[in-house]
Amino acid sequence: MTGFPILSLMLLVPLVGAVACVKASRELARTIALGTTLVNFALGVVLWLNYDVGGAQWQFQEHADLFAGFSWKLGIDGIALVLLELTVFLMPVCIGASWNSIEKRAGEYYAAFLAMETLMIGVFTAQDLFLFYIMFEAGLIPMYLIIGVWGGAERIYASYKFFLYTLLGSVLMLIAMFWMVNVAGTTDIPTLMQFDFPPQAQTWLFLAFFASFAVKMPMWPVHTWLPDAHVQAPTGGSVILAGVLLKMGGYGFIRFSLPMFPVASAYFAPMIWGLSMIAVVVTSLIALVQTDMKKLIAYSSVAHMAIVTIGLFAFNRQGLEGSMIVMLSHGLVSGALFMMVGVIYDRLHTRDIARYGGLAINMPYYALFFLLFTMASIGLPGTSGFVGEFLSLLGVYQVSSWVSLVATTGIILGAAYMLYLYARVVFGVQKNADAAAMPDLDMREWAMVVPLAAAVLWMGIYPESFLAPMRKDIGVVEARVAIAKPKGDAQVRTASHAIARTAGQNAVEPR
């Protein structure tokens, strides 16, 4: 694959497909969209097979100077690889989930999805700071349109809230980027990952990037846009929002905050843990009382992503690897759960839990797959959910037993709200004749759930397949933040101040 621009091709294919879909009829547009996403998935398989595990950190690199201060720089490491593969894996599922439900302006709908695929891939492959920012922010536009045009009754409110929350946080990040480039003299992300910014400046830089990544995750208390966005978005929009877009925040932390601002990361680790512990408990309790299936799963996403930030800021291999696996698992499982909600919503046109019950009688295969994804969400051993949560909690336990204890309560609460949801929808008495008359999965729905179920089991049974490509790159991040590793419950802040003094002696002064 040396010299072949496969990353640029993966960016170009969905972009061309988007242009072809704009004016196409509904039938043609969805066929083009499905074909395009399958082509990109095939390219993703080629990328996976040709990635040299244990080889150079940055592979499949492409570089072309475009104009003053801006370069087309692409490349991936193992961390970017697995998230890119998650993206191309979920995109055909999103198209399949929208196959019958989108009727108005279908060509534009599929064009927005394909444009978003280009931008999401761009986020994970960009090696130029400003190229990353463009891809990161431009991804808001198609998602804003998907919610605002094809969403539910309160779609306008939800789309504006989604757009404003995520945009305002990123303005500070852009200002910080300009300062970083002025000091470091480069926009190259791999170079910036090894650059020693002054400790005092790291505090402000960390907060500027945190303002963007915390909203994108989303972290408590800037999470309130997510339930509204999920409830109003069409099924395909919810799948890709939960599956990939939320992961951009976690990717930002591990790509920028930890390696570029290790001193500040150590200093603010207690704050991150505090916010994450609140999120795990509070949003889990809120999920318990929801009557809307989508809103319940949306709040569960906030709790699961809090496990990600807890593991990341443990600054050890188990925590970092666990956080990455949680992101991958959550991308699959939450996407699958939203799709399962979409399956019955397409039949009954309601997400009210009370309107269902006893679906195991007339939809046994649906009940079986729903059970698998429910068990994966609560971390049953043998599923993808167990591996990531176990590693994350093991990583943070080495640093703080109290944080790990609170995080573990979130898993218990997660089992409570997910099993409560499953029992009310699938078991019990069939109270409504229209729900009792719903048919089981059709061939299109089988084609969507089987790959997701296989991936969830594969990750749970043999996680090494996903850990191996990123192990070396996790080691690079771990080495970068090693000086910032907290020493224990009572020593976190003491260690942070000591690190700041040490780093201050070696920091590169601003130009």
The 3-state secondary structure of 64-104 reads EEEECCEEEEEEECHHHHHHHHHHHHHHHHHHHHCCCCCCC
Place of tokens 């920028």: 256
Give the span between the Cα atoms of 75 and 459, in whole angstroms.
25
Q: Is the peptide bond before 218 cis (omega within 30 degrees of 0)?
A: yes
Give the span between the Cα atoms of 101 and 106, in whole angstroms.
10
Q: What is the greatest pairwise CA distance in the chain?
A: 73
Residue 295 lies in a domain: yes
Containing structural domain, residue 293: 6-506
Residue 511 lies in a domain: no
Give the span between the Cα atoms of 232 and 146, in whole angstroms.
10
Give 70: exposed, middle or buried? Use CB within 10 Å, 0-12, 13-18, 19+: middle
Residue 40 lies in a domain: yes
Residue 262 lies in a domain: yes
> pTM for this one?
0.89
pLDDT tens-digit profile, the chain (511 residues)? 567 889 999 999 999 999 999 988 889 999 999 999 999 999 999 999 999 888 888 999 888 877 766 778 999 999 999 999 999 999 999 999 888 888 888 889 999 999 999 999 999 999 999 999 999 988 888 988 998 888 888 888 888 888 888 887 788 889 999 999 999 888 889 999 888 888 888 999 999 999 889 988 888 888 888 888 888 888 888 899 888 888 998 999 999 999 999 999 988 989 999 999 999 999 999 999 998 999 999 999 899 999 999 999 988 899 999 999 999 999 999 999 999 999 999 888 888 998 998 899 999 999 999 999 999 999 899 999 899 999 999 999 988 888 889 999 888 999 999 999 999 999 988 888 888 889 998 999 999 999 999 999 999 999 999 999 999 999 888 888 876 555 444 444 443 343 344 334 333 333 3
Place of tokens 């497909």: 17
Residue 172 lies in a domain: yes
Give the span between the Cα atoms of 467 and 464, in whole angstroms.
5
Residue 421 lies in a domain: yes
Q: How many distinct structural domains can be found in the chain?
A: 1
Give 2: exposed, middle or buried? Use CB within 10 Å, 0-12, 13-18, 19+: exposed
Angle at 109 between CA 106 and CA 110, to 5 degrees: 90
